[in-house]
Amino acid sequence: MTSDERGVAMGAAANRSRRSEWIIDKTEAVARDGMVAAMQPLAAEAGAEILARGGNAIDAAVATAFAIGVVEPHMSGLGGIAFLVYRDGATGEITCLDGSTVLPAAIRPEMFELLPGDQRAGMYNWRAVKDDANNTGWLAPGVPGMPALVGEAHRRFGRLPWREVVQPAIRLAADGFEVNHYIAMSIAANWDLLQRFPSTRRVYLKPSGAPPAPPISGPGDRLVQPDLARTLSIIAEQGVDVIYRGEIARMIAEEMKRNGGLITEEDLAAHRTYERSPHLASYRGFQIAGALESSGFPTVVEALKIVEGFDLAGAGFQTPDALHLIAEALRRAMVDRLRHLGDPALMPVPLQGVVSPEYAAVRRATIDPSRATPEEGPGDPWPFDPSGGKSPVERSGAPGEGNTTHITVIDRDRNMVALTSTLGGIFGSGVVIEGTGILLNNAVTWFDPEPGAVASIGPGKRVMSAATPVVVLRDGKPFAALGSPGGRRVMSAIYQVLVNLIDYGLGMQAAISAPRLHTEGPALEISTRFPEEVRAALAERGHQIVPRDETISASFFARPNGILIDQETGELHGGVFPFTPATAIGV
């Protein structure tokens, strides 16, 4: 990354102020033979270790996915779900795998007693439920999908022996690791949840009940997870099927039954990883690949297709003119998502309509280049969808979309992997299966506890995720891979990073480090790293500005990472979110 790129990425640095402000950034990793980007350095090191041993991008991604579940346990792991986009460097074939969760067969809406009045709770502001049972505890989990997805990916595309790619995670769980400030902060912030469940308390809290401390004036506490190390060792020997049909499946089902949970051995055995057809969207001569179903990808594509009709480069980088257009296109894509998108198995979904250039032109025509439209409602993509259906008359909002982790890998053969994994909320359901170390997701949090809506809780329902792992081509050649954690803000982040890469020619780190905005309705949340005069100019155009301070504990604009291939030198350039320990490592 050049000094000029660093300058434009740090909007706050140019913003003269009467008070001191944060200026936080990271250097760009550069390598030729391979690279891994992940949300924790120990996980990135695990993937880089596999690349150095001769593993390919899938091997490294699988190793990193197992390792990140050990060292960033509040975001992902064996009890979570995952989504993967893979491009084969030799054939150019793109594969999209969906390892999302389904709700247990025994679940019923009446199991979740609504509290009186209009009390709201959870990440997605559903009606509050007695004991918060839809968000935490034994009724909240769905069937884990992450293990099956990484097992399927390795079976089809991996190079190294299975045991070898699981070993780094086993080592980290068995030997433990010194918690850094980010992990210590996450555990401390969620202490109320973790201390509720004895099996969880034993894993993440000290014998005194206190959270582990990071290094301050001396060494930090170590987090050792022997039960998880044993489970990973069994997986290394027997494969991931043991979670769905073997010893671990029985332990999960038995612990569920003992504690009033719903997942059975039959639910686990019925789980499947789905392969989704890749969709290739064009944007200013680039091709962006991802899966339309059960993801945030169609929303990103719609926003890009809308804004493609404007000259963003001519409007300038992060000027009020450009940001106004970026925000207006995003708002339309997001309100369309909340109105029209969902699980195609449960409702008609105009996936082809929302990503069509013709529909984008209709939505673009509603944008006034000089005035904001905070109250803009959804459009009608159905005339542009070949299915010719229509959306349900009423729904109570889209299923929620939660906290995640993301891994990006490119190897020497230019195989590319973008893999996003999640537990749902932070620390998922909060329950650890005794004897396994597996922390389970809280899939029910994605669904409306009020009966009668498309998004209501029900048996066998599959989540709609905001996950947006993508690979990017330029003239058919590999250009970049990226993705992000961060709930629905994942979509606005990936959209803006792609604009930064393509419209403005930024490097990967600069594209990620640049301040961002987010909207999915009337309010426009905007980083205070944008100069005050820029925010004021947007307010003058009618945007309902909500300023957001970015700190090491905040996540208002998601946390992307990605790897770019320099088209002239062939070198790999890795960028990561600057406010957390996220790390890119080259080999």
- Binding-site residues for L-glutamate, in ranges, read 487
Distance of CA 246 to the CA centre of its chain: 29
Within 455-587, strands assigned E span 470-474, 477-483, 517-518, 523-527, 544-548, 561-565, 572-576, 583-586
Catalytic residue among 64, 404, 420, 468: 404
Known binding-site residue numbers: 487
Instruction: Look at the block and give the residue holding tokens 């929303």.
Output: 299
Pairwise CA distance, residues 127 & 320, whole Å:
38
DSSP state at residue 445 = G
Q: Are 473 and 538 in contact (CB under 8 A)?
A: no
Nearest to 535 by CA among 310, 314, 315, 318: 318
Is 528 marked active-site? no
C-alpha neighbours within 13 Å on the C-beta side of residue 228: 34
Instruction: Look at the block and give the residue holding tokens 């597996």.
Output: 438
Pairwise CA distance, residues 201 & 463, whole Å:
28
The total number of residues written for the chain in this structure: 587
Q: Are 253 and 265 in contact (CB under 8 A)?
A: yes
Pairwise CA distance, residues 472 & 141, whole Å:
34
CA dihedral for 310, 510, 470, 489, sign (positive or negative): negative
Pairwise CA distance, residues 147 & 114, whole Å:
33
Q: Are 88 and 96 in contact (CB under 8 A)?
A: no
The SS3 call for residue 154 is helix
Amino acid at 41: P
Q: Which residues carry out catalysis? A: 404
